[in-house]
Structure 1
Amino acid sequence: MSERAVYPSLRGKRILVTGGATGIGAGLVEAFARQGAKVAFVDVNAAAGEALAAKLEGAPLFRGCDLTDVAALPAMVDEIAAALGGLDVLINNAANDDRHTIAEVTPAYWDERMAVNLRHLFFVAQAAVPHMKRAGGGAIVNFGSISWHLGLPDLVLYQTAKAAIEGMTRSMARDLGRDNIRVTTIVPGNVQTPRQEQWYTPEGEAEIVAAQCLDGRIQPADVAALALFLASDDARMCTGHDYFVDAGWR
């Protein structure tokens, strides 16, 4: 792989990544740590989170956290900000794309899926904003999904939540812009992670690549590269929009 970009403005920045223990999230944590940022990440998978923190340089801070417990989120964000000495960047990555049919959805399952895939993004951001204001500004990077743009099957609740995230990004960008807080959305395509590989056969993966404009499978590092840019001062005039890293999947 060619050498990756280095962003001097990220050195020493205080970064919080949600869902950072595995998959895309782990790639994000590793990428920000490599930039010399002060990184903290949370995940419900404590074993994977502790293992990742132990192997990475830069001593990223890990906290086990159930993001569906919104009452606990302000204290969690405050604790992490205190440990890092403030908070400059929030990467709202955590989500779960379990498959489901329309007929299977109950009111309870609807609420649980919205809690896992949408609600916490708002409330973690809400808790992070005061810290960013004290720092003179910041960046919130929310994670959407290519899935609803394509209308993939058996993901109606996941896609509903991910579509809502893009609307939330635009609203937050407007409300927070005068505080020098930028809000953007990354829309990944099908990223090759162990979790995604459980859903797709080799034939299915070949079909995805055939539908892309570019050959090859998107890797977590490709998504992290976009997140680094959007979090950096190089993206100082980027806000309120969605940024795709999908190899042109249509």
Structure 2
Amino acid sequence: MVVTGGGSGIGAGMVEAFARQGARVHFLDIADADSRALEANLAGLAVPPVYLPCDLTNLETVAKVFAAIGQVDVLINNAANDDRHALAEVTPQYWENRMAVNLRHQYFCAQAVAPAMQAQGDGVILNFGSISWHLALPDLTLYMTAKAAIEGMTRGLARDLGPHNVRVNCIVPGGVRTPRQEALWHTPDEEARILAGQCLKARVEVDDVAALALFLASDSARRCSGRDYYVDAGWYGA
């Protein structure tokens, strides 16, 4: 299986969760220090995960990496970046960059693994969306544009690949507590705001997201496809 953006945060949590289940995991990232540290920390597992440096905005590199990996039974399209931006500051170049970082690679990673999945009549693709556009959070127009598109892309891929028994779903995380998010945005006021907007008054953890991914990748979810699955503690906004 392959996890994109697997070197830190939610991605690292999924790499560890699947590797501890005995899955043969390859994870792609450009965060070299974090990725090598994760690989070293999990080196003692029966089937340790393998880190492959990969700039997902370079589609030639993406094609070469997937060709080297070979058969992929489960693809988790997790990589993204939610840098804040103001409408007046967005240039055409920045638009293209944000779409490449947050949307385009998900499609072409799916394209890379689809032929082998179709040939064997089985496979799982999990795309990652975001609660952000459902809540209309500020200063994230391009990120939310990409994440909204991912839900539509998931539906289309599920329809086209379904006849080959390939399942495609979208995971929609809420306010997940990751080291990056905590470092950038965490304050007592922000913590209170998030909890006030959730039905469940506890923060979503990386392990909660990994648990949903494990389920959707398993045979227990064999009749689940083309849908969005939220792990957000019922976040309705604030």
Q: What TM-score bracket applies, with the shorter chain setting the length? A: over 0.9
Specify which of 59, 70, 88 is matched with residue 103 of structure 1.
88
Secondary structure of the residue that 2:157 maps to in structure 1? helix
Specify which of 218, 228, 249 is matched with residue 214 of structure 2.
228
Specify which of 37, 40, 65 is matched with residue 76 of structure 1.
65
Q: CA deviation at 1:201?
A: 1.4
Q: CA deviation at 1:44?
A: 0.7
Distance 2:186 2:129 in 1: 20
After alignment, is 71-80 or 183-192 more displaced? Answer: 71-80
- C-alpha deviations, 1:190-221, integer Å up to 9, x for none? 10011111123121111101110111111110
Q: CA deviation at 1:94?
A: 0.1
CA contact (8 A) 1:89 1:231 kept: yes
Distance 1:72 1:131 in 2: 19
Aligned length: 232
CA contact (8 A) 2:118 2:161 kept: no
- State the partner residue of 2:52: 63
Distance 1:125 1:170 in 2: 13
The 5-angstrom pairing of residues 1-250 of structure 1 reads 15-56=1-42, 57=45, 58-81=47-70, 86-197=71-182, 198-250=184-236
CA contact (8 A) 1:173 1:184 kept: yes
Q: CA deviation at 1:136?
A: 2.5
Distance 2:118 2:235 in 1: 37
Q: Gaps (5+ residues) in structure 1?
A: 1-14
Letter in 2 for 1:222: D
- C-alpha deviations, 1:166-212, integer Å up to 9, x for none? 00000000000011100000000010011111123121111101110
CA contact (8 A) 1:87 1:135 kept: no
Q: Gaps (5+ residues) in structure 2?
A: none
| Aligned residues with identical type, % of pairs | 63
- TM-score, normalised to structure 2, is 0.96
Greater than 6 Å deviation, 4+ residue runs: none
Distance 1:206 1:44 in 2: 33
Distance 1:26 1:194 in 2: 11
Distance 2:141 2:56 in 1: 21
Distance 1:156 1:183 in 2: 25
Secondary structure of the residue that 2:200 maps to in structure 1? coil
Letter in 2 for 1:216: A
Distance 1:50 1:79 in 2: 19
CA contact (8 A) 2:173 2:232 kept: yes
Q: CA deviation at 1:130?
A: 1.4
Distance 2:84 2:186 in 1: 12
CA contact (8 A) 1:18 1:94 kept: yes
Superposition CA RMSD, Å: 0.8
